[in-house]
Structure 1
C-alpha cells in the first residue's frame, strides 16, 4: 500500500516536495533540454551563441581593465574569463529564479507536480549553459596555459555547492516574488550592482596587496560580499591557485543557513504559490 504524501504547512511536506521533485528528474531534465532548444530554434550555431557572446564580452573587458589597472593581459584575462563563466551561472540562478514560478504559471496550475520540479529544471538549464561556457575555459588554457595542479578537482565539489545554493535561492526568492512582484526588478538591480562589487573584472589579491593602505583597506570590504567566496572556491582551482579555507567555510555556512531559511519559507507558503501566480 502506498503511503500518503505529507500535506499542509509542515516541514515533512516541504521535504517531500523536494524528494518527489528529484524523483521526477526525467521530466525536468527533458524540459531543461527543451528550453535551450526552443530558445535557439532555427539558429545555425544554437547554444554556441551563449559561449560566443560571453567570450566576446569577457575578452573586451579583460583588455580594457588590463590597461586601466596596468595588469598583464595574460594574468587578467584568464581571471576575467573564468569569473564570467561562474558569474553567468550565479546570476542566472538568481535572476531567473526570482521569476521561476511566475514564468511557469500555466504548468503550476494545470500540471500536478511538486514546486521543486521547476527549480530543478532551472538549475539543470543553467548547468547546461555552464557546460557550454567551459569551451571558453578550454580555449583559454591553450592560449594562456595555467599552472594547474591536482587541486583542480576541487572545482567539482565547488560547482556542486554552487548548484545547491542556486536551488535554495531560486526556491526562496521565487516564492517571495510570486507574492510580492516588486521583488523581481529589485533582484535584477541587486545582481547588476553585485557584478561590479565582485572581483570578476578586477583581481582581489592585487588590491589588498596594494602599496596604498587606503586602497588595501577598502578592498578588504569585499570579504563581506558573499559572491566573492562562491566565485573563489571554483575559480582558484581552475586557475591553478592555492585554496583558501575561509572561502569554503563561508560558502558552507551560507549553504546551511540558506536551506534552513528556504525550508521555513516552503513550510509556510509552498501551498499558496499556485494562488499567487
Structure 2
C-alpha cells in the first residue's frame, strides 16, 4: 500500500513539474513577445535597412518592383480581359488591387520561412527577443507594399475610380493581416529553421494557391454553384476583407467569419509551436 502511495505521489510530482515547465515556457514566450514589441524602433530600423541593402546600387531602388508590378498588371489586364471577354475598365482595377495585395501575402509567407535563419549571426551573438525578427519581416514587406500602392493609384486614376468611405473598412482587415504576419513568421521561421527543406514546399504551395485564389479571375466567374467552394480557401477570405471595401464591394458575414476563424486558428497553432520551440531556435539556426 505504501508503494502504491509513493508511486502516486511521484506521478503527481511529475505532472506538477510538467505543468510548471509548460507554464514557464508560456511565460518566457509572453516575455519574448512583449519585449519584442518594446523594441519596435529597432525592428523598424532593421526592416528599413533590409530594403536599402536589397536595392543598394540601384538607381530607382524599390521602385523597380513598382515598375515590374505595373508592367505585369498592364500586360495581364489586357490579355485576360480579352480571354475572359470582360470590359478592361471593370477588370484592370480589380487585377491591379488583387495583384498588389497578393504580392504582399506571397512575400510575407515566403520570407517568414527565413525570418530566423537570415538573422543567424545576430541570434548567435546577441540575446534578443525573436519577435524583433518577426516584426522586421513585417516592416520590410509593408514598405514594399507601400511602394506598390502607386500602381493601384495610377490605375484607379486612369479609370476615374474613387473609393468611397467604405474603403476605411479595409483597415480592420489590414490589422488582421499584420497579426497573421507575425504569427506566420513565428511558426514558419522556427519550423523552417529546424527543417530547411520546408521553404521550397511552401513556395510551391503558394504558387498553386495563386491560381486557386481569385486574383487574376473574379469570384463570380465560377458561377453560383461553384462559388461557395471559395469558403474552403482561407486566402480568399483574407484577400476579400481588404479588397472588397476598396472596390466598394459588400463583404458578407461568412467572409468575415472565415477570415477571423482562419486567423484565430493560425495564431493558436503558431503560439503553441513557438512556446515549445522558442528555447531551441538558437540551436537550429
- Give the TM-score, by structure 2 length: 0.89
Which structure has the greater CA radius of gyration? 2
Aligned to 2:14: none
Checking the alignment, whether the CA contact within 8 Å between 1:232 and 1:247 is kept in structure 2 is yes
Q: Partners of 1:65 and 1:14 in 2: how far apart?
A: 47
Q: Which segments of 5 or more consecutive residues in structure 1 lack a partner in the other structure? A: 1-5, 210-215
Q: Could you list the per-position Cα deviations for residues 163-205 of structure 1 after superposition, in whole angstroms to 9, with x for gaps in the alignment?
A: 1111101111111111111211100100111110010000002
Checking the alignment, whether the CA contact within 8 Å between 1:7 and 1:13 is kept in structure 2 is no
Q: Partners of 1:31 and 1:73 in 2: how far apart?
A: 41
Q: Partners of 2:172 and 2:230 in 1: how far apart?
A: 23
SS in 2 for 1:104: helix
Checking the alignment, whether the CA contact within 8 Å between 2:214 and 2:236 is kept in structure 1 is yes
Q: Where in structure 2 are the equivalents of 1:129-168 lying within 5 Å? A: 129-146=144-161, 148-168=163-183
Q: Report the more deviating stretch, 110-119 or 252-261.
A: 252-261
Q: How far off its partner does 1:147 sit?
A: 5.5
Q: Partners of 2:168 and 2:109 in 1: how far apart?
A: 26
Q: Partners of 1:135 and 1:244 in 2: how far apart?
A: 28
Say which of 50, 53, 59 aligns to 1:38.
53
Q: Partners of 1:122 and 1:8 in 2: how far apart?
A: 28
Checking the alignment, whether the CA contact within 8 Å between 2:112 and 2:184 is kept in structure 1 is yes
Greater relative contact order structure (CA < 8 Å, 6+ sep): 1
Q: Partners of 1:29 and 1:256 in 2: how far apart?
A: 26
Say which of 244, 250, 259 aligns to 1:242.
250
Q: Could you list the per-position Cα deviations for residues 196-242 of structure 1 after superposition, in whole angstroms to 9, with x for gaps in the alignment?
A: 00100000023224xxxxxx43x432221110011111111111212
- Aligned pairs, number: 265
Aligned to 1:213: none
For the pair 1:19 / 2:34, whether they are aligned, the reply is yes
Checking the alignment, whether the CA contact within 8 Å between 2:109 and 2:184 is kept in structure 1 is yes
Instruction: Call closer, same or farther: CA 1:145–1:240 in 2, change over 3 Å.
Output: farther
Checking the alignment, whether the CA contact within 8 Å between 1:172 and 1:266 is kept in structure 2 is yes
Which consecutive segments of 4 or more residues in structure 1 shift more than 3 A? 6-9
Q: Could you list the per-position Cα deviations for residues 123-166 of structure 1 after superposition, in whole angstroms to 9, with x for gaps in the alignment?
A: 01111111111111111121112362211101111111111111
Say which of 153, 169, 173 aligns to 2:188.
173
Q: How far off its partner does 1:262 sit?
A: 1.2
Aligned to 1:227: 235
Higher fraction of helix: 2
Checking the alignment, whether the CA contact within 8 Å between 2:231 and 2:255 is kept in structure 1 is no
Q: Where in structure 2 are the equivalents of 1:213-224 lying within 5 Å? A: 216-217=225-226, 219-224=227-232
- Give the TM-score, by structure 1 length: 0.91
Q: Could you list the per-position Cα deviations for residues 98-140 of structure 1 after superposition, in whole angstroms to 9, with x for gaps in the alignment?
A: 1111111111111211111111000011111111111111111
Checking the alignment, whether the CA contact within 8 Å between 1:51 and 1:132 is kept in structure 2 is yes
Q: Could you list the per-position Cα deviations for residues 58-78 of structure 1 after superposition, in whole angstroms to 9, with x for gaps in the alignment?
A: 221111111111111111111
